[in-house]
Amino acid sequence: MSCIVQKFGGTSVADVERIRNVARHALRARAAGHDVVLVVSAMAGETNRLLGLVRAVSPTPSEREQDVVLATGEQVAVGLVALAVQAEGGEATSFLGHQIRIVTDAVHGKARIQHIDAGALDQALRAGRVAVVAGFQGTDETGNITTLGRGGSDTTAVALAAALHADACEIYTDVLGVYTADPNVCPAARKLDRISYEEMLELASLGAKVLQIRSVEFAMKYRVPLWVKSSFTEDPGTLVCREDAAMEQVVVSGIAQDRNEARLSLREVPDRPGVAARIFGALADRHIVVDIIVQTPPRGGRSDVSFTVTKADFAAARQVMAEVAAELGIAAVESDDRIAKVSIVGLGMRNHAGVAAKMFQVLAAEGVNIQMISTSEIKVSCVVDEKCTELAVRSLHSAFGLDASASTEVRA
């Protein structure tokens, strides 16, 4: 008997009727002979409602107590989904993070899963029950409730699939699968049938919101076949899996944009050992994740350092940098939160020269100014003015042959 983990997000459990749909969906999979683990998020809107209560009580809430409040969203959802499975004639048991020992580190609000004790789940599955697991939450070593951050339920699902050696992990969303670009930004975007873990990881990192990055990392590490599917259609969706020869032939698989970053630039930073460590160490101490970092070559003993952080961390990062600037004698801290990062991703880049150059040419031809550049083996990212986002994505999508109307793949 095969085992499937199915994850349903907040919109899929937004009301009683949708909760019943999830229950019926799970029971169809059971009827088809699968062991079924459901991972569910809080009902749509619930996490924001709870966050509103927290903020009303305290503008600077303790992260431990905020997690205590937020974790209730998933707890309500698993209870209701288990009840719905029972109401549809099936058997089900709900499980919370502390009940199956989803042990995380103690970084509240951004915790990372370290260990799962799948024993209780195994027992429920062997008894023919649907196991309904609360996504997004765990406990640290001492039993404090932790949450994994937005989208954390994807990670819960993949981690459970890995722990249970499941045959597949299916992530149900309100879109058909993974697209070549965000259809809201680029009307010519196409759904992909397959994509490699590596490409998906880059796309997720670069702002494609269909999967949480950490969940893709887990899936890649433990070789979990990961499906992105729609809750509302029978479309087979997109399979995220190991790369194969055919994938290497495609130079650019997708375009991503991310409006959720902000840029800080430190002017005339003293060029001596330990300065960069001090700057980024101060940010790391506050658990602020830095994305792109660019440093100019030093001139006159000074260089400029620019980096991007998420908009949520922008205010905190500015405060930290003001302190660091005073300490290190940095001339000025500039900041800009009206930027966007536009990226092209593809396994084929590894074997094709000139992909980055082509990207810069396309943007130049459209008059889009590039503020920062970052590259990896399979992606190129450019930071541009936020208002150029759509123009940049659409022109790159077309230039790299991804438009739905394109009949053949275009190579660089």
List interacting residues with a copy of itself (CB under 8 A): 16, 19-20, 50, 53-54, 56-59, 61-62, 64-66, 68-69, 71-72, 75-76, 78-80, 82-84, 86-87, 92-94, 96, 98-99, 143-145
- CA–chain centroid gap for 140, Å, is 22
Distance, CA of 205 to CA of 194 (rounded, Å): 18
Pairing of strands 302-310, 261-270: antiparallel
Question: CA 373 to CA 380: how far, in whole Å?
Answer: 7
Nearer to a copy of itself, 118 or 324 (CB): 118
Closest to a copy of itself by CB, 144 vs 374, is: 144
Q: Minimum CB separation from a copy of itself for residue 74, in Å?
A: 9
Nearest to 202 by CA among 291, 293, 307, 306: 291
The distance of closest approach from Cβ of residue 10 to a copy of itself in the complex, given in angstroms and rounded to an integer, is 15
CA distances from 342 to 115, 141, 345, 356, 364 (A): 35, 39, 10, 12, 14
Are 144 and 195 in contact by the 8 Å Cβ rule? The answer is no
User: Smallest distance from the beta carbon of 85 to a copy of itself, in angstroms?
Assistant: 9
Least separation in angstroms between CB 145 and a copy of itself = 8
Q: How far is the CB of 147 from a copy of itself (least distance, A)?
A: 12
Establish how many alpha carbons lie within 13 A of residue 103's alpha carbon, considering only the half-sphere containing its beta carbon. Answer: 9
Cβ proximity to a copy of itself, 37 vs 347, nearer residue: 37
- Least Å distance, CB 372 to a copy of itself, is 38
Q: How far apart are CA 62 and CA 356, in angstroms?
A: 44
Min dist. Cβ of residue 40 to a copy of itself (A)? 12
Q: In angstroms, rounded to a whole number, what is the distance separating the alpha carbons of residues 383 and 369?
A: 9
Q: Closer to a copy of itself by CB, 63 or 337: give it.
A: 63
Q: Which is nearer to a copy of itself, 122 or 386 (CB)?
A: 122
On whether the CB atoms of residues 7 and 102 are closer than 8 A, the answer is no
Pick the closer one to a copy of itself by CB: 85 or 241.
85
Residue 98 or 209: the one with the smaller Cβ distance to a copy of itself is 98
The DSSP symbol for 262 reads E
Under 8 Å CB-to-CB from 137, ≥6 apart: which residues? 67, 71, 74, 96, 97, 102, 145, 146, 147, 148, 152, 156
Measured from the CB atom, the residue of 79 and 225 that comes closer to a copy of itself is 79
CB of 76 to a copy of itself, least distance (A): 5
Report, in Å, the least distance between residue 143 CB and a copy of itself: 5
Element (H, E) at 69: helix 63-87
Tokens of 340: 């966007």
In the complex with a copy of itself, the residue whose CB is nearer, 119 or 281, is 119
Strand-pair partners of 37: 5, 131
